[in-house]
């Protein structure tokens, strides 16, 4: 049975995040429909700053809707807003079921420019920065983000991963994940330590070369958590309305009384029980749409149609 949460303002029901099902993320269980925190404070190219009140409202509404998996990073900030500060302000004291996933590796200067991937010995400072900003003594999951951009970087991740293992043994974090990686880097990581999640850019018409990596994660019981599953992040990159298959996606959306973005999220969750979704937004109304996508059930015919669009993109 799908749990539904009553919207006190409109007296209508909104599907709860539990409608998407659950997954065991290391030693914690999360609803498969979560929240990405990057957009809470706004993006660097926004014409005007995002409302701090809206960011806090999104976080608190997410909790009301059953979201218990939030993805963040210390380098999610604008000149006026920090995602970690918004999370800390909105949600402390933290509920026992809340899992906050953060990431380390690259960093950003005060001006917002990304700096090169930190050396292994620098990761402790990045972990401690997340601990301070979030007001926690231990982090639930820390992802090693490989590289500074969205293009995958070659090379061994062993030394950096080993540094995180040491920090786990020191009690600063509980579980380790990796991000922006190849199948070979996942195999290398699994030979070193248990990996609870892989977080890569992936979506219906975006980075479908990772289909095989997604399946590899499933075989190893590793969560696959796509970022930018609905749309690319930066200006100048294709938006959903410009990408192949928009008419077919719109037709499936109409059948379900949903938006094309909701269908993209639903398709993501249909890729396997180990696939999680972390759509980001700084808008409370968009948050409810995203959470509601977890309750959409696509037919085999619809999945075949959508899979064909993505494979041809």
**Chain segment 31-58, per-residue pLDDT in tens:** 999 999 999 987 766 777 788 999 999 9
Does the structure show a pLDDT above 80 at 8?
Answer: no
Percent of the chain with pLDDT over 70: 89
Does the structure show a pLDDT above 90 at 296?
Answer: yes
Residues with Cβ within 8 Å of 184's Cβ and at least 6 positions away in sequence, in order, are none
Helix (H) or strand (E) holding 34: none
Residues with Cβ within 8 Å of 68's Cβ and at least 6 positions away in sequence, in order, are 17, 30, 31, 34, 95, 97, 98, 99
**Chain segment 107-133, per-residue pLDDT in tens:** 887 777 777 788 999 999 999 999 999
Mean pLDDT of 274-299: 96
What Cα–Cα distance (Å) separates residue 217 from each residue in 9, 161, 197? 41, 18, 8
Helix (H) or strand (E) holding 41: none
pLDDT band at 12 (very low <50, low <70, confident <90, very high): low
Beta bridge partners of 100: 70
Angle between helices 83-91 and 123-134 (to 10 degrees): 40
Q: Given this model, what pLDDT does residue 114 score? A: 77
Does the structure show a pLDDT above 60 at 252?
Answer: yes
Q: What is the DSSP letter of 209?
A: G
DSSP string for residues in 9-27: TTTEEEE-GGGG-EEEETT
Catalytic residues: 76
Q: How many helices (H) and strands (E) does the chain have?
A: 10, 13
Pairing of strands 28-31, 197-199: unpaired
Residue 185 structure tokens: 């880097």
Q: Contact 244/205 with Cβ under 8 angstroms?
A: yes
Does the structure show a pLDDT above 50 at 176?
Answer: yes
Beta bridge partners of 28: 25
Pairing of strands 173-179, 139-145: parallel
Q: Given this model, what pLDDT does residue 112 score? A: 72
Q: Given this model, what pLDDT does residue 44 score? A: 67
> For the chain, which domains are there?
22-312 (3.20.20.100)
Does the structure show a pLDDT above 90 at 206?
Answer: no
Helix (H) or strand (E) holding 129: helix 123-134
Q: Given this model, what pLDDT does residue 232 score? A: 52
Q: Contact 102/74 with Cβ under 8 angstroms?
A: yes
Angle between helices 246-256 and 260-269 (to 10 degrees): 90
How many Cα atoms within 13 Å fall on the side-chain side of residue 136? Answer: 28
Does the structure show a pLDDT above 90 at 309?
Answer: no
Q: Given this model, what pLDDT does residue 1 score? A: 36
């Amino acid at each position: 049975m799908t749990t539904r949460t009553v919207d006190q303002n409109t007296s209508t029901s909104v599907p709860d995040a539990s409608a998407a099902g659950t997954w065991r993320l290391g030693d914690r269980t999360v609803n498969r429909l979560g929240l990405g925190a990057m957009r809470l404070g706004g993006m660097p190219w926004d014409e005007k700053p995002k409302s701090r009140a809206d960011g806090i409202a999104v976080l608190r509404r997410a909790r009301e809707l059953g979201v218990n998996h939030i993805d963040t990073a210390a380098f999610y900030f604008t000149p006026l807003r920090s995602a970690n500060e918004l999370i800390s302000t909105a949600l402390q004291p933290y509920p026992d079921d809340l899992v906050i996933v953060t990431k380390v590796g690259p960093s950003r200067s005060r001006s917002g420019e990304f700096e090169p991937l930190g050396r292994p010995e620098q990761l402790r400072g990045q972990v401690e920065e997340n601990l301070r900003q979030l007001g926690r003594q231990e982090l639930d999951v820390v992802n090693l983000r490989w590289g500074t951009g969205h293009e995958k970087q070659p090379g061994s991740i062993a030394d950096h991963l080993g540094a995180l293992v040491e920090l786990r043994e020191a009690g600063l974090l509980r579980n380790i994940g990796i991000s922006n990686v190849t199948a070979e880097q996942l195999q290398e990581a699994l030979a070193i330590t248990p990996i609870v999640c892989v977080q890569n850019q992936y979506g219906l018409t975006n980075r479908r070369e990772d289909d095989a990596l997604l399946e590899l994660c499933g075989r190893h019981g590793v969560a696959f958590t796509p970022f930018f599953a609905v749309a690319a992040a930066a200006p100048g990159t294709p938006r959903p309305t410009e990408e192949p298959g928009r008419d077919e996606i719109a037709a499936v959306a109409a059948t379900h009384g949903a938006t094309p973005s909701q269908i993209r999220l639903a398709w993501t969750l249909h890729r396997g029980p180990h696939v999680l979704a972390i759509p980001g937004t700084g808008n409370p109304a968009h948050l409810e749409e995203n959470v509601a996508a977890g309750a959409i059930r696509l037919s085999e015919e619809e999945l075949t149609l959508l899979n064909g669009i993505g494979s041809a993109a």
